[in-house]
Amino acid sequence: MLRLNSHPSGRHFLQIPGPTNVPDRVLRAMDYPTIDHRGPEFQQLGKKVLADIRKIFQTTQPVVIYPASGTGAWEAALVNTLSPGDKVLMYETGHFASLWKKMADKLGVHAEFIVGDWRHGVDAAAIGARLAEDRNHEIKAVCVVHNETSTGVTSDIAAVRRAIDAAGHPALLLVDTISSLGSVDYRHDEWGVDVTVSGSQKGLMLPPGISFNAVSAKAIAASAKARLPRAFWGWDEIIEANKNGFWPYTPATNLLYGLSEACDMLLEEGLQNVFARHRRHAEATRACVNAWGLEILCQNPSEYSPALTAVVMPEGHSADTFRKIVLEHFNMSLGQGLSKLSGKVFRIGHLGDFNDLTLMGTLAGVEMGFALAGVPHHAGGVLAAMDSLRAAASQPSLRAA
């Protein structure tokens, strides 16, 4: 049995849905000497990173980069666009949608929550219906999570935009892509998103520590009238300094080295190939779970996440006890169930710097863990995943380059 204070052989399998494994290329880039953040060498880096990250968001508009976690980017999105007492419409898709609502409440924004069951994505029709009732346009923004990390459910953001437009409502559209950017197809411009929130530690393959707001012209115009207090989070000074490749404060220089390398890796592979790779691994994971005879938390196949799969434990068995056994025996970390899902589900992350053999090692560890923990299941899940990968190899839509 592995002792947590020992040094186990082999690599640790970090198969939580973020932070994800950091590739060697990114680690080596971050190891470069720190440079003067007001000098010409940094200016060159700043301009490159700002241009590349727009490609990842699929936008031609500004992307603001903060030395902060995704939580900071949540706050930035709200304080730059809203005023005290403003109403926002949010949708309960899981733990992280709930946390964003709590933040809005703390900031003095009136957040109306459309209640969800944590097993389905955003109901665009429900959002459209609520906006149609808001004839005085008191709702200033709609805030939704693209890929809910706690549940493994991906929502249709283009459908949300269509619902807003069909209601003839001027509300801003704010979207959290913290676990989908660089993993799941996301189109800031094409889908008419006003503020996209994201973070470094998932599909971008970096350590935690930098976060993003991609902003539309409409959002920037709203920020000129917004009255929630902001200083560090303010877009205006950052966007102005970014025009010359700089920041109005000391940026996270070495993380920006890593971001530059991560963008290179994603763009070299090609974003569509990256998305296809994630879909392929997600398909194989679900084939495995189905073969085990276990239940996937997400109930709508069209909303299955390409980035992670949340698995429901059989009645009477603790997901946390199972995760502990897997960690102790195989040096592998699986994602825990969060808040009301605590102990009821575990989450398999299959995003970021991830390939077929990483997936097979992960699923083998889970299947062996079931046997050790006495979790009822059918054998052969790993073989089902292998069959899925073989089948995908002949399907261009699922095959990575």
Q: What is the pLDDT along the chain (401 residues), one digit of tens a residue?
A: 445 556 678 889 999 999 999 999 999 999 999 999 999 999 999 999 999 999 999 999 999 999 999 999 999 999 999 999 999 999 999 999 999 999 999 999 999 999 999 999 999 999 999 999 999 999 999 999 999 999 999 999 999 999 999 999 999 999 999 999 999 999 999 999 999 999 999 999 999 999 999 999 999 999 999 999 999 999 999 999 999 999 999 999 999 999 999 999 999 999 999 999 999 999 999 999 999 999 999 999 999 999 999 999 999 999 999 999 999 999 999 999 999 999 999 999 999 999 999 999 999 999 999 999 999 999 999 999 999 999 998 776 544 43
Residues 145 and 32 both lie in one domain: yes
Q: Does residue 399 lie in a domain region?
A: no
Is 347 part of any known ligand binding site? yes
- What does the block give as tokens for 399? 């095959």
Distance CA 283, CA 380 (A): 16
Counted residue by residue, the chain has a size of: 401
Distance CA 339, CA 97 (A): 12
Residues 6+ apart with CB under 8 A from 111: 87, 88, 90, 101, 104, 105, 143
Q: Does residue 16 lie in a domain region?
A: no
pLDDT (0 to 100) of residue 394: 77
Print the SS3 string covering 168-236.
Answer: CCCCEEEEECCCCCCCCCCCCCCCCCCEEEEECCCCCCCCCCCEEEEECHHHHHHHCCCCCCCCCCCHH
Q: How many domains does the chain have?
A: 2
Instruction: Judge contact between 267 and 398, C-beta under 8 A.
Output: no
Plot region of 270 (φ>0 → left; ψ -120 to 50 → alpha; else → beta) = left
Q: What is the strand order of the sheet 332-336 is part of?
A: 13-15, 332-336, 345-349, 308-312, 295-296
Residues 212 and 114 both lie in one domain: yes
Instruction: Judge contact between 248 and 241, C-beta under 8 A.
Output: yes
Distance CA 371, CA 365 (A): 10
Write down which residue in 267, 289, 321 finishes a domain.
267
Instruction: Judge contact between 370 and 51, C-beta under 8 A.
Output: no
Instruction: Judge contact between 133 and 169, C-beta under 8 A.
Output: no
Q: Write down the pTM of the prediction.
A: 0.96
Residues 163 and 280 both lie in one domain: no
Distance CA 401, CA 16 (A): 25
Residues 231 and 323 both lie in one domain: no
Instruction: Judge contact between 89 and 115, C-beta under 8 A.
Output: no
- What does the block give as tokens for 72? 């900071």
Distance CA 17, CA 34 (A): 30
Residues 226 and 254 both lie in one domain: yes
Residues 228 and 109 both lie in one domain: yes
Q: Does residue 4 lie in a domain region?
A: no
Distance CA 289, CA 311 (A): 8
pLDDT (0 to 100) of residue 396: 62
Residues 225 and 276 both lie in one domain: no
Q: Does residue 252 lie in a domain region?
A: yes
Which residues form the domain of 185?
Answer: 24-267
Radius of gyration of the chain (CA): 21
Write down which residue in 229, 246, 267 finishes a domain.
267
- What does the block give as tokens for 112? 């109306």
| CATH code of the domain containing 86 | 3.40.640.10
- What does the block give as tokens for 393? 């190899």
Residues 253 and 281 both lie in one domain: no
pLDDT (0 to 100) of residue 400: 43
pLDDT (0 to 100) of residue 401: 39
Plot region of 398 (φ>0 → left; ψ -120 to 50 → alpha; else → beta) = alpha
Q: Does residue 131 lie in a domain region?
A: yes
Running DSSP on this structure, what letter comes out for residue 294?
P
Q: Does residue 5 lie in a domain region?
A: no
Question: Which burial class, exposed, middle or buried, applies to 302 when counting CB atoms under 10 A from its CB (0-12, 13-18, 19+)?
Answer: exposed
Write down which residue in 218, 251, 267 finishes a domain.
267
63: three-class secondary structure by DSSP: strand
Q: Determine the Cα angle at 350 with ends 365 and 306, to 5°.
A: 140
Residues 179 and 282 both lie in one domain: no
pLDDT (0 to 100) of residue 398: 47
Residues 328 and 261 both lie in one domain: no
Residues 277 and 341 both lie in one domain: yes
Q: Does residue 78 lie in a domain region?
A: yes
Q: Does residue 262 lie in a domain region?
A: yes
Residues 72 and 185 both lie in one domain: yes
| CATH code of the domain containing 376 | 3.90.1150.10
